[in-house]
Amino acid sequence: MLSFLKIHMRINILIGLILFVFLSLSLKENEKRQRPNIILVMSDDQGWGQMGYYNHPFLQTLHLNEMAKNGLRMDRFYAGAPVCSPTRSSVLTGRANDRSAVYAHGFPMRRQEKTVAQALQKAGYNTAHFGKWHLDGLKGPGVPILAEDNRNPGFFGFTEWLSVSNFFDLNPLMSHKGNIAEYIGNSSDIIVNQALDFILGHKNEPFFVVIWFGSPHDPWSALPKDKSNFPKGMEEVQ
């Protein structure tokens, strides 16, 4: 009888342990699913007035209009600085750009900085950067980021990255984690399509995706279908 009770207790303990492990795994899976996905989109040199929902005379920002209509619109949300690199550093670090040594565009960000991408990466997020980077100190036209660049997006917390050092437009040369890749077409379409592929591949896991466009920064190259929406002669205005 005693042996039977011992066996019964051991079976109950074993069942309890199995249930505990199962519930723990289930809770971790639910926790993973409940974490919000984050997509950060930023255009380059676009003024607040260059939006259709601010009644611009000819710019038709249809998707942005819809987002402004159905989402939360913050009309007094100011960038950390009025130019490119300082804004990017303040967005990633949450600190004033002078503290990260990005005093103006083209200044490299301090390697000691801690970014939101690194924090989310440690929290189990899949992190990715697509588009303009401009935090590695290069000041000229956009070029692909070399693998040995010690301020590439990977160093600052992005597991996946397809990036350019500075502004870029049609038919861009980009860097996929240090490997040079040539693309044909509009750069905005290219990085959004690449970002969508990443999102679809990680749709069952939490992700943090940064999409930083090169447009509408110059050189203002455009496909014929895009030029057709503007008044005659407008495409020649600089």
pLDDT at 2 over 50: no
**Nearest to 177, CA basis, from 215, 127, 227:** 127
Q: In the annotation, is 134 catalytic? A: yes
Q: How far is CA 12 from the centre of its chain?
A: 49
Query: Which token pair is 177?
Result: 């984690």
pLDDT at 222: 79
**Nearest to 151, CA basis, from 96, 92, 207:** 92
Q: In the annotation, is 8 catalytic? A: no
Beta strands 38-42 and 126-132, pairing class: unpaired
- In the set 8, 56, 84, 129, the catalytic residue is 84
- 32, 52, 117, 235 from 157: Cα distances, Å: 19, 34, 5, 39
What confidence tier does 238 reach under pLDDT thresholds 50, 70, 90? very low
CB neighbours of 199 closer than 8 A, spacing ≥ 6?
37, 39, 207, 209
pLDDT at 67 over 70: yes
For residue range 143-169, what is the model confidence (pLDDT) as tens digits? 889 889 999 999 999 999 999 999 888
Q: Are 164 and 175 in contact (CB under 8 A)?
A: yes
Tell me the domain boundaries of the chain. 37-236
Which element (helix H / strand E) includes 95? none
Query: How many whole angstroms separate alpha carbon 158 and alpha carbon 152?
Result: 9
CB neighbours of 1 closer than 8 A, spacing ≥ 6?
none
Does residue 107 come out as left (phi exceeding 0), alpha (psi in the -120 to 50 range) or beta? beta
CB neighbours of 34 closer than 8 A, spacing ≥ 6?
none
- 43, 107, 177, 210 from 217: Cα distances, Å: 8, 18, 24, 18
For residue range 132-146, what is the model confidence (pLDDT) as tens digits? 999 998 877 778 898
pLDDT at 4: 45
Query: How many whole angstroms separate alpha carbon 103 and alpha carbon 151?
Result: 16
- 34, 124, 207 from 27: Cα distances, Å: 10, 15, 19
Which fold, 37-236?
Alkaline Phosphatase, subunit A (3.40.720)
- In the set 63, 134, 176, 217, the catalytic residue is 134
In which residue are the tokens 């004033």 written?
96
Does this model's pTM top 0.75? My answer is yes
Which element (helix H / strand E) includes 112? none
Provide the 3-class DSSP secondary structure of residue 91: helix
pLDDT at 34 over 70: yes
Query: Which token pair is 176?
Result: 């996929």
The maximal CA–CA distance of the chain, rounded, in angstroms, is: 98
